[in-house]
């Protein structure tokens, strides 16, 4: 792992103090080399994914380093879960403003260490870079994650078939509402405590860890919900050459989201198309759903059937309790940085 950081610590000391304790896998060689040598486990495929998050685009400006670290790692963990994969290790790239103090790095590394323990993963290497003196630049964190899945059993977006049911884990829309709360926009019908809880849901994703085997065994196609339920279902259906219908009344909502929607019904569309849920969206046979639900329950994860895969040729639709289509101004969330 290399560093270009004008700190009171030398490059060697910075790595030794903050990142070497995270490099627990022998493949990382204690970060004394400039590459890791990671053997592929017998009988497994490697699953590789990368996500970058940028201040003012994917998280609020001035956000706590703890929350940034948790978000960066967990959005990548979410990708692995939806592929039916288990985490193995990750590479970390940090681009930091030159003005950030060493205490920021300490809090960031501490949060990574806690999540590494939680998810059974270790740092393999990476790069840290400071911005130029006198230039304001956003914090940027990129993680390239490595996971494993039994050979040939990885779950892709492609694979959904007409007649399959659509299932989601957890609840939908809390993060979209939480972004509003975190930005200081009041949500009618909510106590301060509920509004703060939604804001935390946005800041710190909780991907449904522990269900990779359920996804492998039961899902024909799957992906994580990062850019909104409807928009991401559009992507899954496009990859599978099908379409789908979602029943809005079946979409699982938290009590806080229900209260907010009761006070302002227009927020339902925001919940259906807003981003950052990091739950699993999966298509499977109707006969396979009870097993999926049971396996997820063992891991403490709730699951809900919300619709069906239909014939191609028409866009994915959302219908209300009367079977009438709901008009959505936006079908998914685009991280453009507006309003952050």
Other Cβ atoms less than 10 A from the Cβ of 324: the count is: 8
* 3-state class (DSSP) for residue 118: helix
Residue with token string 């990382």: 28
- Rounded Cα distance, 144 and 73, in Å: 9
- Residue 108 structure tokens: 């960031």
Give the predicted TM-score (pTM) of the model.
0.90
Whether 174 and 200 have beta carbons less than 8 Å apart is answered as no
- How many angstroms from the chain centroid is the CA of residue 25? 24
The CA distance from 212 to 221, in Å, is 13
Token digits of residue 200: 């935390």
Q: Are 326 and 318 in contact (CB under 8 A)?
A: yes
Residue with tokens 């599978």: 240
Structure tokens at 216: 């492998």
pLDDT per residue as tens, the chain (340 positions): 654 443 556 556 667 788 778 787 877 667 666 777 878 889 999 999 999 999 999 999 999 999 999 999 999 999 999 999 999 999 999 998 888 888 999 999 999 999 999 999 999 998 888 777 666 789 999 999 999 999 999 999 999 999 999 999 999 999 999 999 999 988 999 999 999 999 999 999 999 999 999 999 999 999 999 999 999 999 999 999 999 999 999 999 999 999 999 999 999 999 999 999 999 999 999 999 999 999 999 999 999 999 999 999 888 999 998 999 998 877 665 554 433 3
**Positive or negative: CA dihedral 92, 97, 98, 103:** negative
55: Cβ–Cβ under 8 A, 6 or more apart, which residues? 61, 63, 68, 138, 139, 140
Residues 49 and 80: their CA atoms lie apart, in Å, by 8
H-type alpha helices, the chain: 11-14, 65-82, 102-119, 174-182, 192-203, 212-218, 229-240, 255-263, 267-273, 289-298
The residues that bridge with 47 in the sheet, in sequence order, are 147
Residue 91: which of 172, 157, 28 has the closest Cα? 28
Picking from 210, 60, 38, 212, the residue whose alpha carbon sits closest to that of residue 122 is 38
């Amino acid at each position: 792992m290399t560093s270009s950081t004008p700190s009171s610590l030398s490059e060697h000391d910075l790595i030794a103090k903050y990142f070497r304790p995270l490099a627990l896998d022998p493949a990382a060689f204690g970060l004394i080399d400039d590459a890791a040598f990671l053997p592929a486990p017998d009988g497994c495929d490697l699953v590789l994914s990368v996500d970058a998050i940028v201040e003012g685009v994917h998280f609020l400006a001035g956000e706590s380093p703890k929350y940034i670290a948790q978000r960066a790692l967990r959005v990548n963990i979410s990708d692995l879960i939806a592929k039916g994969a288990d985490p193995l290790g990750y590479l970390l790239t940090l681009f930091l403003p030159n003005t950030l103090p060493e205490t920021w790095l300490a809090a960031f590394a501490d949060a990574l260490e806690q999540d590494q323990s939680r998810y059974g993963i270790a740092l393999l290497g990476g790069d840290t870079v400071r911005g130029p003196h006198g230039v304001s630049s956003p914090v940027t964190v990129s993680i390239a994650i490595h996971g494993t899945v039994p050979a040939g059993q990885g779950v892709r977006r492609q694979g959904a078939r007409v007649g399959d049911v659509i299932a989601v884990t957890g609840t939908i829309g809390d993060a979209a509402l939480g972004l509003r709360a975190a930005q200081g926009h009041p949500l009618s019908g909510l106590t301060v405590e509920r509004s703060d809880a939604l804001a935390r849901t946005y800041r710190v994703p909780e991907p449904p860890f522990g269900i990779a085997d359920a996804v492998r065994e039961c899902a024909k196609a799957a992906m994580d919900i990062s850019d909104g339920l409807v928009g991401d279902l559009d992507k899954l259906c496009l990859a599978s050459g099908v379409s789908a219908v979602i029943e809005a009344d079946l979409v699982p909502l938290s009590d806080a989201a229900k209260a907010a929607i009761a006070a302002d019904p227009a927020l339902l569309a925001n919940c259906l198309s807003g981003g950052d849920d990091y739950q699993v969206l999966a298509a499977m046979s109707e006969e396979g759903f009870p097993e999926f639900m049971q396996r997820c329950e063992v891991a403490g994860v709730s699951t809900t059937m919300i619709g069906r895969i239909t014939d191609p040729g028409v866009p994915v639709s959302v219908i209300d309790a009367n079977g009438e289509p709901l008009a959505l101004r936006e079908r998914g969330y685009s991280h453009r940085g507006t309003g952050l």
